[in-house]
Amino acid sequence: MTMEWHASTDEYEKLINRMSTPRVVIDNAVCSTATLVKVDSARRHGILLDAVEVLTDLNLLIKKGYISCDGRWFMDVFHVTDQNGNKLKDESVLKYIEQSLGSIHVSRTNGSNGLTSLELTGTDRVGLLSEVFAVLTDLQCDVVEAKVWTHNGRIASVIYLRDCDSGSTIEDFQKIDRIEARLRNILKGDNDFRSAKTSVSMAAMHTERRLHQMMFTDCDYDRNPILKFTSDPPVVIVQNWAERGYSVVNIRCKDRIKLLFDVVCNLTEMEYIVFHATINTDNDQANLEFYIRHKDGTPISSESERQRVIQCLKAAVERRASEGVRLELYTRDEQGLLAGVMRTFRENGLNVMRAEVSTRGNMAANVFYVTDVIGNPADPKIIESVRHKIGLSNLEVKELPSICHHQKEDGEDQAIGVGGAVLMFIGNLLRRNLYNMGLVKSCS
């Protein structure tokens, strides 16, 4: 009897594991211009974000998407390409996507990798990063990686450090206290005593998720912009569909890399669940539609909440959409490099709107988006002067990453082969279900 009970328990656990493990199908036959990635999984809060994160961390473009939830199960269909607008052909990349999406039901965390994580939020100003990196250099901290976002006069940064002496995590608690105290004083400036924050830890979550969380907690969405931001702001419309008990969110904005990730990340952070969604891109424009509810199953309940959702989603789109000049620095890494580069930017009246710092072996590979002090395009003569000071071969002006769109070809949606036919049928079934529910206007 005992052996039978254990056998039945094992079979039950295997069944639960099979039910919770996502089923992933990747197909290159259905569409002539994109690779289709389909994910079926048991629903849980945040799993859509996990799936989108896998694709966007590879810098893939999501051209179209159909998301549908049926009870405790959800299904996503994504049309993806590489940054050049081509289908995915590299078998190692396809295998990585399949394995990663197949394991999103398992909680994933980022280890410290021998680094100390430093988080900063405060009021942005010209030269602030110069002061931050100068302090870190003075305290014998080596910056291995960093990401910096600015929005509406606020700054958020996640910086990964190692001790210059040990080459690993900073374990001296007195040194950690000194780092926090000195940086907090810099962030406070003359009038930011309440909102300037610093924190140090030995572990970190997904960096860009964390940046969104930090900006959201800092209420950057509810602050008046100090610098000019963009000439093409996103349009966000939020309405309630009372008959179905959904709140409907429509976003139209310029298409860009990681757009869907940024929006879904903020919906998740606000504790909304996406039950259905459609994502479409046309030329350089993106149209996103989400049918959401609170975690308790209710839609948006007040005008103030509706306005807050609109503000938060506009901020989510804007944080990464810098329009400054893109400068790429590739040179030998050395202590004080960032402090020197940032000082040169400051002395020449350049403001860093966004930055991505990384090291590859003994080389530094950094990207900066810069404007003038009031957020306007930087003077090309000043840019050239800065390049001469830092090194023409080291610091280069690059075009802002563009989104490649192929024209739709005849027969694009016709399947090729049995696998393609099955996946096309599933995609059409999903669209038909959305149409029957009234969630899309046409199932053609």
Q: How confident is the model at residue 2 (pLDDT cuts 50, 70, 90)?
A: low
CA distance 78 to 62: 6
Question: What sign for the dihedral angle of Cα 311, 312, 316, 322?
Answer: positive
> E strand or H helix at 93, and its extent?
helix 91-101
Tell me the HSE value of 388 on the side-chain side, using a 13 A CA sphere. Answer: 7
CA distance 29 to 411: 11
- Quote the Cα angle for 227-397-360, to 5°: 100
Query: According to the model, what pLDDT value does residue 441 have?
Result: 45
Domain assignment present for 6: no
Helix residue ranges per DSSP H, 282-372: 303-318, 337-347
Q: Among candidates 175, 53, 154, which has minimal Cα distance to 103?
A: 53
Tell me the CA distances in angstroms from 71 to 7, 136, 269, one per residue in order. 30, 51, 22
Query: According to the model, what pLDDT value does residue 109 have?
Result: 55
Indicate whether 44 pLDDT > 70.
Answer: yes
Domain assignment present for 382: yes
Q: How confident is the model at residue 380 (pLDDT cuts 50, 70, 90)?
A: very high
Domain assignment present for 16: no
Query: According to the model, what pLDDT value does residue 107 have?
Result: 57
Q: What is the mean pLDDT of residues 361-390?
A: 93
Domain assignment present for 256: no
Domain assignment present for 3: no
> β-strands 246-254, 235-241: how paired?
antiparallel
Q: Among candidates 288, 276, 246, 270, which has minimal Cα distance to 74?
A: 276
- 222-279: pLDDT as tens digits: 987 655 545 678 999 999 998 999 999 999 999 999 999 999 999 999 999 999 999 9
Query: According to the model, what pLDDT value does residue 98 have?
Result: 94
Residue 94's CB is within 10 A of a number of other CB atoms, namely: 15
Looking only at Cα atoms, what is the longest distance across the chain?
Answer: 85
Which strands form 73-81's sheet, in the order they lie side by side? Answer: 23-27, 35-42, 73-81, 61-70, 272-282, 285-294, 246-254, 235-241
Query: According to the model, what pLDDT value does residue 437 have?
Result: 45
Indicate whether 15 pLDDT > 80.
Answer: no
Indicate whether 431 pLDDT > 50.
Answer: no
- 50-87: pLDDT as tens digits: 999 999 999 999 999 999 987 788 899 999 999 999 99
Domain assignment present for 4: no
Q: Give this prediction's pTM.
A: 0.85
- Residue with the bigger pLDDT between 173 and 289: it is 289
Query: According to the model, what pLDDT value does residue 406 have?
Result: 58
Domain assignment present for 150: yes
**In contact, 237 and 247? CB cutoff 8 Å:** no
What CATH number is attached to the domain comprising 325? 3.30.70.260
Indicate whether 114 pLDDT > 70.
Answer: yes
Q: How confident is the model at residue 433 (pLDDT cuts 50, 70, 90)?
A: very low
CA distance 198 to 378: 30
Q: Structural domain of residue 177, as residue ranges?
A: 116-225+321-398
Q: What percent of the chain has pLDDT over 70?
A: 80
Q: What percent of the chain has pLDDT over 90?
A: 62
According to DSSP, the residues that pair with 25 across neighbouring strands are 38
Q: What is the mean pLDDT of residues 152-164?
A: 93
Q: How confident is the model at residue 170 (pLDDT cuts 50, 70, 90)?
A: confident
Indicate the average pLDDT of the chain. 84
- 177-236: pLDDT as tens digits: 999 999 999 998 766 666 788 888 776 689 999 999 999 999 999 987 655 545 678 999
Tally of domains in the chain: 1
Query: According to the model, what pLDDT value does residue 167 have?
Result: 80
